[in-house]
Amino acid sequence: MMHDITKALLERIKPYPVEYLYKYRSLNSIGLEDILIKNEIYLSEPTAFNDPFDCKPLLVTYTSAFKRNQFYKSLVKHRFPNATKEQIKRELKNNPRFRKIRTRKYLENELFQIFIKDFGVYCLSEVPDDILMWSHYSESHKGVCLQFKATIERTLFWESYKVTYQENYPAVNIMNISNYDQFFNFFATKSEHWEYEKERRLIKTPQEGGAGIYTFQPELLTGVILGAKILPEDEKMINDLVSKRKRPVNIFKAQMNSRAYKLDIKEINC
């Protein structure tokens, strides 16, 4: 089983290698200092996302009555591991808790929400110079963008998944939601409106730790890009924080191009 999961992981990652991944941050965002000083990032529960369309699949069920019944029985078996076939049948018929699992409302509003809240997700981008993301996520170009190395195998950022953009919700079988492809379809699928972000996601299952703090190797933070409109005192503050790191990082500055609607990223310190 572990071999199959590892193989599926590699198939998801290897076709889309990138050298670096980027995280846009405002200076007052929670956890920025922890990233710079402690080499820690926080993976959030999907239920905490601002976008109500994010991680929102089109939930379907098995068309086969036999498979649906097998699913219902598995839920009872999970609650009562030693239950006999007759006991399982009786629970499904008489126990109000298990009668309601047959309703679509329960599957959508309870079972699905219980499932996704135990995962951890961290959103990154393949690009450091998108003017919209600097405006939305980095305090109107007054914040920073962090650069992480993504080519070292088996490290945290190497494990990122490329987000797919499409017009419609991905169809996900709520009764087979633990299937590897199923849950990555809805964790890594977004509206095509967001395609400009070129997003990558770190996704941790409950077995891997789910939502929470994760420590990365110090050498994976390779650069800090200062916003084009960062205030002098904030630039000094970032430089002071970076100077406390045991492993140095490159400092860059985003500059507004004089001819086109774009940013130029210039290295100002090594």
The whole-model pTM stands at: 0.86
Give me the mean pLDDT over the 196-225 stretch: 94
Judge contact between 184 and 159, C-beta under 8 A: no
More confident residue, 62 or 202: 202
Residue 264, pLDDT score = 97
What residues make up the domain containing 83? 58-116
Q: Are residues 20 and 112 in the same domain?
A: no
Q: In 3D, which of 251, 51, 249, 255 has the Cα closest to residue 141?
A: 255
β partners of residue 21: 148
Q: What angle do CA 253, 257, 263 make, to 5 degrees?
A: 50
Q: What are phi and psi of 203, to 5 degrees?
A: -130, 125
Q: Are residues 213 and 157 in the same domain?
A: yes
Give me the mean pLDDT over the 173-200 stretch: 84
Chain-wide mean pLDDT for the chain?
87
Residue 138, pLDDT score = 96
Residue 25, pLDDT score = 97
Q: What are phi and psi of 39, to 5 degrees?
A: 60, 50
Residue 232, pLDDT score = 96
Give the pLDDT band (50/70/90) at residue 186.
Answer: confident
Q: Are residues 108 and 187 in the same domain?
A: no
Q: Are residues 88 and 40 in the same domain?
A: no
Give the pLDDT confidence of 104-116 residue by residue, as tens digits.
777 777 777 777 8
Q: Are residues 76 and 139 in the same domain?
A: no
Q: Measured between alpha carbons, how far is 181 from 198 in angstroms, rounded to an integer?
A: 20
Q: Are residues 35 and 129 in the same domain?
A: yes
Select from 116, 134, 157 the last residue of a domain: 116
Q: Are residues 248 and 139 in the same domain?
A: yes
Q: Are residues 153 and 197 in the same domain?
A: yes
Q: Are residues 35 and 80 in the same domain?
A: no
Select from 78, 96, 116 the last residue of a domain: 116
Q: Are residues 62 and 33 in the same domain?
A: no
Query: Sign of dihedral through CA atoms 110, 114, 115, 116?
Result: positive
Q: Quote the number of domains for the chain.
A: 2
Give me the mean pLDDT over the 200-225 stretch: 93
Range among 65-74, 83-92, 187-196 rated most confident:
187-196
Residue 115, pLDDT score = 78
| Token pair 């600097």 in the structure block, residue | 134
Residue 62 tokens read as 């098995």
Q: Are residues 127 and 191 in the same domain?
A: yes
Q: Measured between alpha carbons, how far is 105 from 111 in angstroms, rounded to an integer?
A: 9
Residue 234, pLDDT score = 97
Q: Are residues 234 and 255 in the same domain?
A: yes
Q: Measured between alpha carbons, how far is 227 from 128 in angstroms, rounded to an integer?
A: 10
**For residue 1, pLDDT beyond 50:** no
β partners of residue 237: none
Select from 83, 101, 116 the last residue of a domain: 116
What is the DSSP annotation of 208-241?
Answer: GT-SEEEE--GGGEEEEEEPTT--HHHHHHHHHH
